[in-house]
Structure 1
Amino acid sequence: MTPDASSTPSVDARRAAMRLCALARTDELEAALEALDAPGAVADLRRPETGLVMLRGRIGGDGRAFNAGEATVTRVAVRLPSGEAGFAWHLGRDAARARKAAILDALFQVRPQAVAAALAPIGARVEAERAAQARRVAATKVDFFTMVRGED
């Protein structure tokens, strides 16, 4: 694979791409990989593993941390034939989804613009869902005001 005209993608751009992978459904990741003509011979550096992570929270005025509970996550690491390694952690037990995200992470290091373009429909869906949620919340908004009375 030949790299795009740009050099190494920025950390922020890679983080944004992985955010979209984390929010994507399995079929959306599959569509992105098909659009990129992903290589078939991807080696597993770390096969998909499912485990638990501790969720931490903060509450109160002092913000002391506490353990809120555990969440199931699946992690995977892959290597492309050209040598780039990709990593992914996903909530839940969907190993195929995590592996596809890891492949997209590895491809992002080689072709950042192409991967960003392939993930654009996911970003559009996520933004549309966020806007719809904002509209639903705005419909229930109550504006309180204070009325000054003459006796005070």
Structure 2
Amino acid sequence: MKEAGPAGDAIRERQGWMRTLAMASGQELEAAWKAWTPRPTVEAVRGPEEGLVMVRSRIDAAGARFNLGEATVTRATMRLHGGPLTTDVVGSAYVLGSDREHARLAAIFDGLLTDKDQRPRVMAEVIEPLQSAQDERDAASRIDARSTLVDFFTVAREHE
């Protein structure tokens, strides 16, 4: 069941920026972090560390679940304090693959996004540019996939 109201909105907003951070490349996050000033002090709470998760799927929307296979993920939890922050914040991230620096930087930006004073700046300088770049890549991918579409002529269509 999905959350309704302000709590649900906050969850969806965080899911959006976490998706953007997870889908960005490690190089994009590294460039954004290098440009970030002033930087808070960063301490690792957990990780970054790699592990496996079981990927589950369904035959269709209502079908029985089955184990599709395993995927490598990297997680990190970072505590940030000082610099532009007035209070300590904690950020967490899980990213597909084994790029530890990517997970660490995603957790750092997640922490900055949890600070109400820093959120507008992070959204404008990091999340929105990353989302625009991802939208462009997705559009190019859709165009590429569409170019391989085969429209099978069927007997049933012949009589329509």
Contact 1:73 1:93 in 2 (8 A): yes
CA distance in 1: counterparts of 2:46 and 2:104, whole angstroms = 10
- The Cα of 1:79 is off from its aligned counterpart by 0.7
In structure 2, the CA distance between the partners of 1:45 and 1:138, relative to structure 1 (3 Å rule), is same
| Residue 33 (1) aligns with residue 68 (2) | no
Could you tell me which residue of structure 1 aligns to residue 107 of structure 2?
A: 102
- The Cα of 1:85 is off from its aligned counterpart by 0.6
Could you tell me which residue of structure 2 aligns to residue 88 of structure 1?
A: 93
Q: How many residues are paired up?
A: 141
Q: Normalising to structure 2: TM-score of the pair?
A: 0.78
Contact 2:56 2:66 in 1 (8 A): yes
CA distance in 1: counterparts of 2:61 and 2:146, whole angstroms = 28
Runs of 4+ displaced beyond 6 Å: none
Could you tell me which residue of structure 1 aligns to residue 132 of structure 2?
A: 124
User: After alignment, is 55-64 or 23-32 more displaced?
Assistant: 55-64
Q: Secondary structure at the match of 1:101?
A: helix
Give unpaired runs (5+ residues) of structure 2.
Answer: 1-8, 82-86
CA distance in 2: counterparts of 1:133 and 1:47, whole angstroms = 33
- The Cα of 1:62 is off from its aligned counterpart by 5.2
User: After alignment, is 71-80 or 58-67 more displaced?
Assistant: 58-67
> What is the aligned-residue RMSD (CA, Å)?
2.2
Could you tell me which residue of structure 2 aligns to residue 137 of structure 1?
A: 145
In structure 2, the CA distance between the partners of 1:12 and 1:38, relative to structure 1 (3 Å rule), is farther
Q: Which has the higher contact order (CA 8 A, sep 6+)?
A: 1
Q: Secondary structure at the match of 1:74?
A: strand
| Residue 73 (1) aligns with residue 73 (2) | yes
Amino acid at match of 2:95: H
